[in-house]
Amino acid sequence: MWKLIREVLGLLWKLVKTLLKNKLRAILKRVLLYALLFGAVIAVVVFILTRVFV
């Protein structure tokens, strides 16, 4: 009985861990994408400002 419960809990834990990992990976990818876009926008703005004012 205990063995069965432990196995079920283990399976649930694995499922939760993989789901969390996938969700975290998706969130990290999104954050990285936004960071890259943000960095590109800042770079362009700085570039334009330096062109205009210098």
pLDDT at position 54, please? 73
pLDDT at 2: 87
Mean pLDDT by 10 residues, the chain (54 residues): 91 93 92 95 94 83
Look up the pTM and report it: 0.54
In this predicted structure, what is the pLDDT of residue 50?
A: 92
Buried b (16+ CB within 10 A) or exposed e, 16-43: eeeeeeeeeeeeeeeeeeeeeeeeeeee
